[in-house]
Amino acid sequence: MRFERVGGAALGLAAVLGMVLFGVAIWRTSYGLDRTDEGMYLLQAAHPQDDPATVLLFGYLLHPLHALGTGNIFGFRQFGLVTTFMLSASLMGHVARVGGAGRVAQVAARFAGGGGAALSVAWFPQTPSYNTVALWGCLVVGIGLAGALADPGDASTRTRRRPRRPAWATGPHWTTGCWWALIGLGIVLAGIGKPTSAIATLVVVLVVVLAVGRRAQSVAPAGLGLLAGLALGALAFLLLCLAVAGRAPVQLLQTVRAGVESVRLLGGHDRLLRLDPLDPAAWPAVVGVGPGTAAVLQVMLLVPLATLIVLTVRVARTRAATARGASGRGPMLSVADTSSSDDAHRARRPAPPVPVVLALLVLPACYALGTNTNLWQQMGRAGSLWLAALVLVCATVPHSVRVDSRRARASWVARIGLTVLAVTVLVGAVTMTGRDSYYRYPPPTQDTVSARVNPSMYQLRLTPQDARDSSAIVAAAPYVAGRDILDVTGASPGYIYQLGGRALGSSWLIGGYPGSEQAAAHAMSLVECHRIGTALVLDSPDSPRAIPGLLPALGLNPERDYRPILQFRHNLGWHVRLLEPLPSAADALRCPGN
């Protein structure tokens, strides 16, 4: 059919574009290294147990992968991107299956949707982080919702004696329960990344459970499966923490409680629910007018807007068709084969999966909740979920993927193809517009020198100045490796990682917040006093994020009690020195709380 050929061509082109975007993202993983946020991610993955006060537990999950790679940052980044690609592709494959696409079209949709993985690192650190793990969790939840909808069992095998249920709640109870168990696992995974994301996702899923239960007259498969998934995911994570770091559940709870207090002292995270402004300059940047910035991610809001418009139209048409059918004025949908009145009745009942579509639209907001950056931009990085929702609402077949009208089936495939192609082009425009505006990375054209960035033998491409400094840092690593390092620059966790040291008090004593000194003092109160006296110090008086009051609060003076052993230039511009304590440091030290 002509429609089917059009849809197939569109899907094929979208698949090629999606893989090109993914290839560009993979190519970019060998360039640059951010020493602030990305440095914290690497420290958390390398030594998750070193942080006694944090609400972010993603390091325990990523630690085995980091250890397996033996410090290969390039491979670690690629693993994160490939995982995001696989989850995004799986989600797109499920919604394409719901839309009635054939196997080839489903594969093409997977490749196209996987290109959305490039959005997850657009103007963002490339190393897997708490944001990455939270996104993985939301994608797994989306896969579970789409899977429960896409695998209801063959409609033709159901007898008239079985009660009809919505497509996402039909089939054997154990199959439905397994999909909901997967959703529970996704919520746990999101919580490992960000607790705020897990709470928001759980609320959304519970609303869907209630909606499904009201229409299916039973919440047992969904509810029991969800509880099983939550329990299984939590148990698996606790066992992982015990295995990789010897952290018992009680210790993890203490770490999270101390982390909550640290966030409270730090400030700047008080307004989790807020309405961030939209940047009007982002929109013309997509067509090449004006500089590309992270705000271009806001253009992805066109996808949920289009989804809501199409969903509203479909629901209105469904209600109108139902009213016409009830009054006997005409059929709701003509089909070619009416040999089975029961099957024909099912095929004539358009039923857009409204709860699932709305859940997919809201999940990016769940992912973004808890960030202190622009929420619209952060939601744009989870654009794969919006893409899946749009495809689902545009192309979902009525209750069953078995359609008797070949023309109708071909038109659905065409809708899938054209929808995926349109949004893939939008994703490509958003991803590539700000190609010179990387998150605290210089553009690849300036990263011209390969250099070692940690004690392992693996290299990244850096600017010439950064490469020289990294070589000096790595040369000092054998002397520093394994020693505690207190960072009072407020912005240098990446250099602790490069030196092979162990962060004292926190993987990032972050500066620049209203309560940075109070939060740093709180972190020091959780550390043994003798470790403070023997720790090396990263100091930078000209750092705009420095925490100058921390050492004096401990009775220490960087000029009197320390000697410099290494000096280098921070990749953000200021000078940093590594200080070693003199014998006078132990005498001058005032332990926190004394």
d(CA 523, CA 395): 53
Q: pTM higher than 0.85, yes or no?
A: yes
Identify the domain boundary among 399, 433, 467.
433
User: Tell me, what's the pLDDT at 335?
Assistant: 32
Residue 115 lies in a domain: yes
Residue 38 lies in a domain: no
User: Tell me, what's the pLDDT at 317?
Assistant: 74
User: Domain check: are 142 and 9 in the same one?
Assistant: yes
User: Domain check: are 398 and 499 in the same one?
Assistant: no
User: Domain check: are 410 and 482 in the same one?
Assistant: no
Identify the domain boundary among 401, 433, 465.
433
User: Domain check: are 323 and 403 in the same one?
Assistant: yes
User: Tell me, what's the pLDDT at 516?
Assistant: 94
User: Domain check: are 109 and 211 in the same one?
Assistant: yes
User: Tell me, what's the pLDDT at 349?
Assistant: 38
User: Tell me, what's the pLDDT at 434?
Assistant: 58
Residue 43 lies in a domain: no
User: Domain check: are 520 and 574 in the same one?
Assistant: yes
User: Tell me, what's the pLDDT at 401?
Assistant: 39
Q: How far is CA 384 from each of CA 293, 405, 540, rounded to the nearest angstrom? A: 20, 30, 41
3-state DSSP assignment of residue 481: coil
Residue 411 lies in a domain: yes
User: Domain check: are 255 and 402 in the same one?
Assistant: yes
Pairing of strands 536-539, 484-487: parallel
For residue 176, the enclosing domain spans 2-30+72-155+162-263+282-433
C-alpha distance across the termini of the chain, in Å = 81
User: Domain check: are 200 and 346 in the same one?
Assistant: yes
User: Tell me, what's the pLDDT at 152?
Assistant: 45
Total domain count for the chain?
2
CB-based contact 39:439 (threshold 8 Å) = no
User: Domain check: are 427 and 452 in the same one?
Assistant: no
CB-based contact 258:53 (threshold 8 Å) = yes
Residue 66 lies in a domain: no
Residue 330 lies in a domain: yes
Residue 535 lies in a domain: yes
Give the pLDDT means over successive 10-residue stretches in the chain (594 positions). Answer: 68 86 90 94 94 94 90 92 94 80 79 84 91 97 82 39 45 70 94 95 90 61 83 92 86 93 84 78 67 77 88 78 62 37 40 80 95 88 91 63 54 71 81 65 86 88 94 92 95 95 94 92 93 95 93 94 95 93 92 67
User: Domain check: are 237 and 103 in the same one?
Assistant: yes
Residue 252 lies in a domain: yes
User: Tell me, what's the pLDDT at 311?
Assistant: 85
Alpha helices in 276-301 (DSSP H): 282-285
User: Tell me, what's the pLDDT at 116?
Assistant: 83
d(CA 245, CA 62): 12
User: Domain check: are 466 and 382 in the same one?
Assistant: no
User: Domain check: are 408 and 511 in the same one?
Assistant: no
